[in-house]
Chain A
Amino acid sequence: MANNVATLNGVAIADIQTINGVTDSNMQAFNGEEFAGTYQVGGLSWSSGASETYRGGHSGVGNVESFLVIGGYL
């Protein structure tokens, strides 16, 4: 991926770490100009959830606000 942007309002692009809290590595382009960072296509952002007793072989449905863990083994 090319880096087409040299400066933004006089600030070297290499000195800009985030725009609106979004890091370069999660941003593909700004006003159509590409950044050099490694853009992750799906844009997943990971965070830790509350620990829970181990289990494996289970299934789950829902999302981060409402989730059901079904069976499995301990």
Chain B
Amino acid sequence: MLLFKIWKILLLQLVMLNVVTCREWNGSAWGDGGDMEANMSSHCAAGTLSSAIYFGGYDDTVGVAAYSSRSETYNGTIWSDATSMRHWMSGTGSGRSTTDAIMCSGTTTTGSNNTGVSEELDGTTWTAGGTRNTVTTNGGAVGGITDCIAMSGYGFSAVDEVAVCESYNGTAWGSENDIGIASRYGSSWGTGTTEAWYYGGINYQSSYGSPTPHVVDRTPEYWNGTTWANDTQSPDAGGTSGGRYNMNMSAATVSNTGTQGAMFMGGHSYTAPNTSTKLNTVWEANW
């Protein structure tokens, strides 16, 4: 049964062909960005439009089709190879810049393995960081290598989506109050351990795909440094559910000053019991 589920996940990823393309938003219009060197999805990212990095993810470049340790940096025009992570993995990660990023935990190699050992990018080298108390993948994360908060996601031990939340101080992960959303493929943003949001994602209520109906939350949760609480409901249709999932994993990582506001692009809406719709709508959230 486990092998069937892994096969199903891999098949889905193969059916949905990854792209190398990127898109840029300048505040008023969308335009083409530079192409990556690999066809990546389910990767993590940090930085800004003019200085960005992605790391890990699923690479379906011809002849590859595997979880990846790849990392590339972007200067606003061109992507270039950067130092690879220690593991081939896809999971939960965040960061502030091309020299401050963290992969909190995730799925490695063929998908049958997982790891709670974080990987930290401090400068140009990836090193082993602390170990998560609850090993998750495809959840949210906000912050850098000394003040990261990771929330929600798929829990390997639970064989289900989980509502756990943990913070990282650069050395060790500690348990925090649970978030109100248990989902994977949501979007997270904020400043770090003192302020964060998590929105959407899907709760399959199982290891993958069954039973239905699933749950896709429409109401984001806000972290004030201590507890999680509901924030303003998104404009997505669908009543108390009807949010979106598979949109961009990170929406904004901001400092305490300067421009704020998060972007949510693409992804899917969900209608019970089992209808998923591709979206071309974009939401902006300000605070």
Inter-chain contacts of B33 with A (CB < 8 A): 68-69
Assess whether B235 is in contact with A46, with CB atoms less than 8 Å apart. yes
Choose among A48, A51, A61, A69 the residue with the greatest number of B CB atoms under 10 Å from its CB.
Answer: A61
Answer whether residue A57 sits at the interface, using C-beta atoms and an 8 A cutoff: yes
Inter-chain contacts of B23 with A (CB < 8 A): 52, 68-69
Q: Which among A1-9, A10-18, A36-44 touches the partner chain? A: A36-44
Answer whether residue A73 sits at the interface, using C-beta atoms and an 8 A cutoff: yes
If A48-B281, A49-B263 touch, does A43 touch B231 (CB 8 Å cutoff)?
yes
Interface residues of A (CB under 8 A from B): 26, 40-74
Assess whether B232 is in contact with A46, with CB atoms less than 8 Å apart. yes
If A40-B231, A71-B21, A72-B41 touch, does A61 touch B253 (CB 8 Å cutoff)?
yes
Flag B12-39 by CB within 8 Å of A: 1 or 0 each: 0000111111111111111001001001
Inter-chain contacts of B24 with A (CB < 8 A): 67-69
Inter-chain contacts of A53 with B (CB < 8 A): 266, 280
3 closest A-B pairs by CB: A42-B222, A64-B261, A60-B248
Assess whether A41 is in contact with B284, with CB atoms less than 8 Å apart. no
Answer whether residue B279 sits at the interface, using C-beta atoms and an 8 A cutoff: yes
Assess whether B246 is in contact with A56, with CB atoms less than 8 Å apart. yes
Per the bound structure, the CA–CA distance linking A48 and B283 in Å amounts to 5
Per the bound structure, the CA–CA distance linking A66 and B28 in Å amounts to 9
Assess whether B40 is in contact with A63, with CB atoms less than 8 Å apart. no
Assess whether A71 is in contact with B22, with CB atoms less than 8 Å apart. yes
Residue of A nearest to B20 (CB): A71
Inter-chain contacts of A43 with B (CB < 8 A): 231-232, 287
If A42-B197, A70-B54 touch, does A52 touch B265 (CB 8 Å cutoff)?
yes
Assess whether B232 is in contact with A45, with CB atoms less than 8 Å apart. yes
Answer whether residue B64 sits at the interface, using C-beta atoms and an 8 A cutoff: no
| Contacting residue for B22 out of A56, A63, A68, CB 8 A | A68
Inter-chain contacts of B74 with A (CB < 8 A): 68, 70
Task: Taking A42-B232, A57-B16, A66-B26 as given, write out 17 further A-B residue pairs in contact, using a Cβ cutoff of 8 Å, ordered by the A residue number.
Answer: A44-B220, A45-B232, A47-B284, A48-B281, A49-B282, A51-B281, A52-B282, A56-B16, A57-B246, A58-B41, A61-B45, A67-B25, A68-B24, A69-B25, A70-B22, A70-B54, A71-B18
